[in-house]
Amino acid sequence: MKAIKKKPKSILKIIAPILIISVIVGIFILKSNPEKPIAANTGDFTLETTAIDLDLLKSYGLPIVIDFGADSCVPCKEMAPVLKELNQEMQGKAIVKFVDVWKNQTAAEDFPVQVIPTQFFFDKEGNPFVPKDAEAMQMMLYSTKDTNKHVYTAHQGGMTEEQFRAVLKEMGVE
């Protein structure tokens, strides 16, 4: 009786295409899964930060909410659970950031922060959000003196979850 020997080349001819197809299918599944947040493992999407790189955040093409406050500020403490929930829920849909300006005093240098908490809003194109009714949303629109170009949209004081959701909805986030 002869022993049957399989040639290694015939095994490779079978395994190689299977591996290639598996990799292609895996990549397709990862790319087409809308529930998976974009770059969720990067620090750019964590809630708390010590500094704001606005150009980097704008490069993601998502609406942005930045809250300048402090861990020891009473309205900020009341908003903390809401910001945490929104940050987790909005991964891949919007960027929600918090900066403690008492611990990171230089973080707000480029923003017109007069009181805490103050929130700033940018649309997915990276432009300051323009609400349909700024007065009703208690928003302040900042413009440059020389060109009158709109540079910031801000809300001073605490915001409720409903207020945040209304702003995000108007910004196109569902």
Active site residue 76: yes
3-state secondary structure of 93: coil
Report phi then psi at 164, rounded to 5.
-60, -45
Of the residues 66, 76, 107, 159, only one is catalytic, namely 76
Alpha-carbon separation of residue 13 from 7, 9, 23, 28 (angstroms): 10, 6, 16, 23
157 dihedral zone (left: phi>0; alpha: psi -120 to 50; beta): left
Of the residues 73, 99, 101, 168, only one is catalytic, namely 73
Distance, in Å, from the CA atom of 154 to the CA atom of 113, rounded to the nearest integer, reads: 9
Distance, in Å, from the CA atom of 74 to the CA atom of 62, rounded to the nearest integer, reads: 29
Active site residue 127: no
Distance, in Å, from the CA atom of 76 to the CA atom of 169, rounded to the nearest integer, reads: 22
Q: Which residues are catalytic?
A: 73, 76
